[in-house]
Chains A and B, each alone.
Chain A
Amino acid sequence: MTKLWKKYILWFAQEHVDFRVAEFESIVKLFGLQFRNLSEHRQKPFWLVEFPNDETAHQYASRSIALRSIIELYSHAHTFPEFHKQLQNHVHLHQGALKEFFKANSFKVTVETYNKHFSQREKVEKIETMDYLPIEGAVNLKNPQVEWWYLEFWGLDPTAVPAEPEDILFGRMLVHGQRHLIKQLSLKQRKFIGNTSMDAQLSLLMANQALVRDGDLVFDPFVGTGSLLVSAAKFGGYVLGADIDFMMVHARCRPSRITQKVRDKDESIRANLQQYGCANRYMDVLVADFSNPLWHRRITFDSIITDPPYGIREATEKVETKVNPKDNTRTADMAHYPSTSHYALHHLYADLLEFGATHLKLGGRLVCWLPFHREDYNETIIPQHTHLRLVANSEQPLAGNTARRLLTYEKHMEYIKEEKLNENSNDTQLTTAVSQNFRERYFNTNGEIESRQERRMRKAALREQGRLEMEMRGKLPSDGRAKKCDLNKARFN
């Protein structure tokens, strides 16, 4: 028996266009969905696709963040006469099946036009051109039983709108996507956020890329304020995080909201999960340095979702051995915060991929961001690991000449450490030239690259000069250090 494949319109929000293909593939894999005849043009705000049944469409919509709605297609054409002919044909052919919708008590027609604006009156006129539809119910704009969608697509380029629409579509609204979650998890309302909290939409997209499902164990080694854990927990994952920043993990770092001087006592990553009703998905967060091994070999994660620091808003740090020229003045009972050293991005990614290969389950996914300068992007800057396969790679432009890519890796073979004979074998392949200088080049647009130390010395010299000039003018310099200490104390009391 042949299945009754039906045609659907996937109507997307035209935002993060590069991510929707990857998201579609991930959700298809997550539920094992069938589809065919997917439209070729992936940049358009709508795709046409065939699913074997409505259930498949519902499953896809139950996870998609890029999707606005799925519409059961009745007619699609490039000219008006052809459109109306097809629609009349479709209604005639499927009379029996469509009867219940046309006979419904109330209905609404939504007119959506892309790349061209129409007034309310013009929209109503468009609806009236379809007066041959055997709709019987009354109009109800608030709570209709059936919702019809009429769509016109006027090209993608706002500077060259065509004289006639390129596509005209009509169908019955079937189901909405998950875009309401973007508002629900919005950072604006979230209890605990920081400078580098990932916005709700992207973190939800990441959870989809990671195929997070109910009962998964999800880990973020650079957890920060836990923004990625929120979306993973929302989709049913049990979440675990680690970060090198003690103050951040304890939610005692400087507040990033302009209206807030001191962090609230009850701010924490756990409180964020509580806020969204997934507190029982919280496993733990801990203070740990990613560059040093911490986890037992036996632990495997279903997915690793992370946004490593790029060295711009959050420093890339690790603890490493260094020779201290001064005498050790520490006593055993004294609190000591280890001094950190620069954690070069290419080392960080090498460690991350190695960690993923070791601690992911077979088929588990590693989802992470890679920042880069757009002029030197090519396929070769993407870090590679012999046991991880790159399955998706989507770009988000950032400020100026920079961008970042969301990389999704899937572990495709078991990784046995003993295979590795020497420490520096070539399991991880990546070019250092690019990532190495990301921070330096970001801050020095004039092309000169200065090291962190040179920069620090230059700034110190500037401050010293300023202080001397102030003294010459007879002004007393204020004690900046004492001020900072007071602020730090205030954060704890």
Chain B
Amino acid sequence: MKLSTYNFLTSMAIKGVKVGYPLKLTINKKDVIESEFNPVFIERLLPKLDWSAVYSAAQVAELADDIPAAQPDNVAEDEQLLQRLHHLLFEIDVLEGQLECPETGRVFPITDGIPNMLLNEDEV
């Protein structure tokens, strides 16, 4: 799972959960897969991102030094920051780990890089 995907996932499907965001991320095993830097795509993605979740993902991935805690105004003009965002959001692949619902503590496992967001029949 890439950390850009992490930014969009919620646990609101669980019965009784209202927001279910952001999920608590734990990384047990990760991989870095280099990919082509596409500034246009990142710029287009920026308004869709929740910066606090970007920052907390950076903390978990031990890249918090690269990413400011609050979203700067002119991210699109800061080429270096875009490069770092690219690395954080698209090149880090969480292979093993888990996502935890902030309200119920329900754990969604990530295996082979694929998060399992399925709920059991008594949870929906």
Question: Does A407 belong to the interface (CB within 8 Å)?
Answer: no
Check: A483 CB closer than 8 A to any chain B CB.
no
Number of B residues with CB within 8 Å of any CB on chain A: 35
A287 & B116 in contact (Cβ 8 Å cutoff): yes
A293 touches B41 (CB 8 A): no
Q: Is the interface of A mostly helix, strand, loop or mixed?
A: loop
Kindly state whether residue B38 has any CB partner on chain A within 8 Å: yes
Interface: A462 (CB within 8 A): no
B117 touches A284 (CB 8 A): no
B79: CB under 8 A from chain A? no
Among B1, B114, B124, point to the contact of A292 (Cβ < 8 A). B124
Q: Does B9 contact A (CB under 8 A)?
A: yes
Set of chain A residues within 8 Å of B116, measured between Cβ atoms: 246, 286-287
Partner of B120, one of A214, A242, A336: A336
B10 at the interface (CB under 8 A from A): yes
Known: A215-B40, A294-B13, A320-B124. A288 touches B117 (CB 8 A): yes
Q: Are A296 and B50 in contact (CB under 8 A)?
A: yes
Question: B12-46 toward A: CB 8 Å interface, digit per residue (1/0)?
Answer: 11010000010000000000000110101100110
* Residues A338 and B119 in contact, CB atoms below 8 Å apart: yes
Residues of A with C-beta under 8 A to B124 = 289, 292, 319-321
Alpha-carbon separation in the docked complex, A285 to B114 (Å): 6
A287 in contact with B117 given A296-B8, A320-B124, A321-B124 (CB within 8 Å): yes
Tell me whether A250 and B10 are in contact (CB under 8 A).
Answer: no
Give the contacting residue for A338; candidates B12, B40, B90, B118; CB below 8 A.
B118
Residues of chain A contacted by B119 (CB below 8 angstroms): 289, 292, 319, 338
Q: Are A284 and B2 within 8 A (Cβ)?
A: yes
Contacts A215-B44, A238-B41, A296-B21 given; does A246 touch B9 at CB 8 Å: no
A339 proximity list for chain B (CB < 8 A): 121
Q: Is the CB of B118 within 8 A of A279?
A: no
Q: Please state if B44 and A280 are interface contacts (CB–CB under 8 Å).
A: no
The reply to whether the CB of B98 lies closer than 8 angstroms to some CB of chain A is: no
CB contact under 8 A between A284 and B5, given known A319-B118, A336-B120? yes
Asked if residues A293 and B10 are in contact (CB atoms below 8 Å), the reply is yes
Q: Write the nearest CB–CB distance from A379 to chain B, whole angstroms.
A: 34
* A295-331 contacts to B (CB < 8 Å): 295-296, 298-300, 319-322, 324
Query: Which A residues are CB-close (under 8 A) to B35?
Result: 279-280
When the two chains form their complex, are residues A287 and B8 in contact, meaning their CB atoms are under 8 A apart? no
Query: Which of B21, B35, B111, B117 has the most CB atoms of chain A within a 10 A radius of its CB?
Result: B117
Chain A residues with CB below 8 A from B48, complex form: 298-300
Q: Any chain A CB within 8 A of the CB of B66?
A: no
Bound complex: CA A296 to CA B4 (Å): 12
User: Which A residues are CB-close (under 8 A) to B111?
Assistant: 250
Can you name the residue of chain B whose Cβ is closest to the Cβ of A242?
Answer: B117
Chain B CB within 8 A of A388 CB: no
Q: Specify which of B1, B10, B13 is in contact with A286 (CB 8 Å cutoff).
A: B1
Query: A283-B2, A320-B124, A321-B124 known; A296 and B115 CB under 8 Å?
Result: no
**Within 8 Å of chain B (Cβ to Cβ): is A87?**
no
Cβ of A370 under 8 Å from chain B: no
State in angstroms the CA–CA spacing of A294 and B101 once bound together: 12
Q: Is A240 an interface residue (CB 8 A)?
A: yes
A246 to B116 Cα, complex, angstroms: 8
**When chains A and B are docked, how far (Å) is the Cα of A312 from the Cα of B1?**
31
* Shortest distance from the beta carbon of B49 to any chain A beta carbon, whole Å: 8
Bound complex: CA A295 to CA B4 (Å): 12
With contact pairs A246-B116, A249-B114 given, residues A321 and B12 touching in the complex (Cβ less than 8 Å): no
Most A CB contacts (10 A, CB to CB) among B38, B44, B118, B119 go to B118
Cα A240 to Cα B12 with chains together (Å): 20
Could you list 6 A-B pairs, sorted by A, with CB under 8 Å?
A294-B12, A295-B9, A295-B10, A296-B9, A300-B48, A338-B120
- Give B contacts to A, CB under 8 Å: 1-2, 4-5, 7-10, 12-13, 15, 21, 35-36, 38, 40-41, 44-45, 48-50, 90, 111-112, 114-122, 124
Ranked nearest first, the 6 interchain pairs of A and B with the lowest CB-CB distance are A292-B13, A280-B35, A288-B117, A284-B5, A287-B116, A215-B41
